[in-house]
Each structure stands twice: as structure tokens, then as C-alpha cells.
Structure 1
Amino acid sequence: DTGRVEPPEDYDDAVTAGPIPDNLEEDEAENYDEAITADQKSVLLTEDVSENYDDAVTAETNTNITTDNPEDYDDVITEEQDGGETEGSSMAFHEGRVRLSGGSECQGEVEIYFRQDWRRVLLDSWSLSEASVLCRQLGCGSVLNYRSSPSTTEHKHMCVTGFSCSGSEAHLGNCSSAQPVNCSSGEQLYINCSEFKELRLTEGCEGNLEVFYNGTWGNVCHNQMDDETVNMVCRELNCGRRGSLSATEARVKSAPNWLDYLKCRKPDSNLWQCPSSPWGQNRCDNSDEVAHITCTDDKKSLHTQEKCSSVPSQKHCS
């Protein structure tokens, strides 16, 4: 597929009409973003900067696309090349953005950006696999439930159906077989994802990894956790770009073990998009299998000391 440019490492695109000039400054955001030269903005058709991915879509074929790759992922695709992308095994990468309406950030009627418009999703082909991908894409943890929407759109509108996900995808744009249909052909989808989550290291930028879920701080176990996951935690807490992992005992013996087998992938932009065992299901011994992370910056510990608190807004404790 000559329409896609995928950097081998982390994030960021630059789209220019020719070679990037020496004075072009790249955005240095942790997870994504694009730099477009001033003279190229006039041909920029679509720029998505969601938490999950990025694209730049140009209004004409650009044979001189240049991609900077200091960090994460990303695609560049032209409008002309976009036409065939929705017909294959997955939607074009700039499509598949999702939002919920009529509820809250993690609860509501599901809408997806598909073929250059926001469309409701039908319930008929939906399963737990698709629901898991959607909640992950929204950064809303796991699925609580999904059902028929209490409201409907006008029958003349087009909806989307036929998603088929394995459950491990980072976003719905990677799932196959989505099809536009008339909204009168089925019930529309309403989803409820687990909503409030936080994470912290118990000594600031070093310590046991704990997450706030269902009203309680609990442990994250170290089983199968790798460097990608550790580095994600450090970046998300603004504690540098990388860290080291060890196993230790729980700070509070009675605390629940909320997560286990947590393993982040390159496209994941926050911890809640990373696959793991279901909440509360684990094979973890509190005496020696809780994840302890030390974030580093230029090989120096970013250790801080603050008194621990049970409230969700308190990310640091000792």
C-alpha cells in the first residue's frame, strides 16, 4: 500500500510540498502530533490529533511526503488514495474516530467518523470484542454493558454496522467489514464503559504502581509487564520517558489487585488502552508480585516524597 507511510518508532508526521526545511520545528508532544509547513496548510484537508493516532490527509497526491519518526507511529494518506482504504480489511486510518453523545465521557450513544461524516453505530453486529476496543479507544477502561439506544436518529440518516474486532485492536479503525446502512434497519448502540480511573507511583516518580478504580486504590501486578508498559507509565505521569521494573510487596496488604498481565503496544497512547486481564482478575501474590517502577531521566531517579492519600486526585504517596 503505497498510500501509507509508517515510521518504525513512535509518533509525528511532517507533510510538506518538498523536503523539510532546516528551520521546521517538530511538535514534541509525548504521544503524537503533526508539523505542517505554513505553505502546505492550504492543501491540508483533514488533520486528526486524537489520543490514539494521527494522520494528515492532503487534498492532492503528494509525492514528497516526509515523515519524522522520533517516537511512535502514524500514517500519511492523500484524499485521492483514501477512496480504496474503506473497502479493504479495515477502514482508512484517519477514520474510526469515536465519540459518545447523550451521556458522559464514557457513557452514551456511539458515533463513529466514517466516510467523512459522523454516523451512529447499529447494535445488530456488536459483541463484547467490539465493545472492549471502543472503551479502550476512548480511554475508558473496560466494558460495563451495552444495549439499544433509548433515542433514534431520522430514518433518512446513514448508520454503520458490521464491525468485526478480535478485541485486541487499539481502535475501531483497525476492525474489519464496517458498512454504511440506513438507520431504519436496526437498533442503535448505547455503551457504558468503566469511567473514572487514575494511576500513581507511591513515591512520586518511583514506587509501587497503583490505579484508582471503582472508588478504591489498588495494585498492578508485574506479570508479563515489559519495558513498553513501564515507559508508558513514566510518560503518562510526566516522570521522564523510561523506567525500570521490579517486583515487590503491596504497600497496603488489604488493597485489591486491580490489574494483571498489563502489556502496552506501540499504538497505545495511554495506559487504559493497553490490554490486560479483566479488572480484579489476577494471579498475583501481594507479598512479592506487585509492580514497582523507578522512572529515570538521564539515568537519574526522579524520586519525590509526598504523604499518601486515599483520594483519587492524590497521585503521590510514600
Structure 2
Amino acid sequence: MDCPRSNSSTCSSGATVNLTCSELRLVGGASRCVGTVEVKHRGEWRRVNPSGRWDQEAVAGVCRDLDCGSAVYGEKRDGFPQSRMWFVRPDCVKKASVRECARGPSYYSSSSGLEVKCSDSVRLVSGSGLCSGSVQIWDGSWTGVCDGDLDQRGAEVLCRELDCGAPSLLQGALSPLGQTFHCEGHESALMDCPRSNSSTCSSGATVNLTCSAFRLVGGASRCAGTVEVKHEREWRRVDPLGRWDQEDTAVVCRDLDCGSAVYGEKRDGFPQSDVWRVRSDCVKESSVRECVSYSSSSSWGVEVKCSGPGQKGRQREDLRGPGDRPDQIHLSPGPDTGP
């Protein structure tokens, strides 16, 4: 009421404003959708203590509560000023709001914190994972992107913006005519691309996109090679915790839209380097990226071969490449290297 007013009439139509105020915020970033997580609890704003495992799904809960699009990354780090904090369990955030999950004694202090980046102007909704779904953009409100409005280069920009790797599946979106986004491929965000049409998608036929959070490298095609996953903004080779079997390989091939599993092999002999340790039992029910447990140094890795896009697995001998050894045409889990 301290603001100047140009009209003092009451609302006779009955169409009143609905407002939601957040008791969650990201501070210190370039926009309201980037920064250090703080929550207001018991009337006091404090930094969130990043206890537990803050995976992509938990970070997505923060972005959801802020209406900030899709999660790009969340990173726990030290070095903040020593101050009092609120405990927030990441498993709780997946099911409820951040404020509802805030707990802890009023005297607890720490120098740790959680930094989050959300996509701000684009999101993928109703998909099988955090890197797949129907494409929506923020244009005053969340609006679906119609079939034909996005081409392959636009999909590459969008996937890179979400820190999700390359597009592995783009459904119903390759029409060269009527395209809204004209990306060259080097843009950092989809909304940086020139747009020729700002109309909303009235038909309801929206673009569905799947971005891979992992890749196969060093093979003859994108559907064969060593499994690498991008986690915490870094691509690394995967070293499975436990037995890697045909079911795990089938998940990799499915998520890359690469047909059926031909073989998967866990083996030693890679250059010693930092790897992501992935729980193979988790891969069967989720995705490779969401099953990263921790980082270590290792010479182990997984090699995978899939039948290829749109193909079903045939006899493994028929799909044997010129460099494949006969003893590779089976699924060998290899010994577990331990933590």
C-alpha cells in the first residue's frame, strides 16, 4: 500500500489475483534460479545444510518449488562463512517442499552449503527421467513447444543447457518448415536462439525430447563403446559397484535409443583415472546418471554394444564387429573392485 496506485476500485468481476510466495530462495547467483539454497524456517532465513546424497532428483525438487524449470546441477561445497543452518534431508525434498523438510537445532552452524542451478526458461515435463519429457518454455507462463518448432540443433542446445548430454531421441520435431527456434548449435540456452514465431502450442502436439546423461565412446558408432556418464558437470568412465549383467546393458541401450543389448563387459585395463562408481542394481530400475554413488580412481570400466537405433538384437555372432574378440560375445560381469 506504499506503492503509487492509479486505480482504487475494488474487484467487482470476481477474477482476483492468486499469488504464491516462496519461503525458499537461491542467493548470490546471476538470476533468481541460480545460487546458494536458503530456506525460511521458524521465521528465520538460513543456508541449507547439504547432508545426505543430493542427487539430480533432489535438486529438481528445489527448482520445482521455485518454478524455475529443470534442474541443471546441484553441488555441495565448503568455504561459506560459518553460520547457523537448517538441516534438509534430500530424500524428503523429493516428496515434499524444501520448507516442510527443514529441521534442526537453532544453534547448529557450519561452513558448508548447497549451490543449485535451474534452467530458468526451459523444462522437460512428464518424462521417464530428469533428462526426458515434453518441452516447455517460459514465455510469461509455461508453454509447450509444438511439433516442428525444434530441429536437431535446437535439441542439442536444449540438452546442453540442461547439462544432460546429447539428444538421443527427438520425437515429431524434425519438420524443416514452420520452425520457431533457429539455433546454430553454439548457443548456451534455447531462448538465446532466434525465434520466428512466438505463438503458443494450441494443437497440444508438443515436442518430446530425450537427452542422454551418458554416452558410449571409442566405438564404431554412438551405440558401441565405453560407458561414460556426466555427473557434477564432469564426464567420467563408469566403474560398476557389483555385477554388471545383461539387464544393465539393456537399460543403457534403451536409454540411448540404441535398440537391444548385444553384449556388455566389465573389464580392467583402462588408463588409471577418476571414475564414477555406479550401483549396477540401481541401473535396472532407474538411469545410469541417477545411480552414481561416489567418485574414485580406477582402471576398470564397462564396454557395451547395442544393436543400433530401431533394430532388435539378432544373434550375437552376426553383430560381431571386426575388432570384437570371440570371448567378448557374452556378458561377463568381471570381479568387483570394491569401494
TM-score by length of 2: 0.37
Whichever of the two has the greater Rg, that structure is 2
Q: Which has the higher contact order (CA 8 A, sep 6+)?
A: 1
| Structure with more strand by fraction | 2
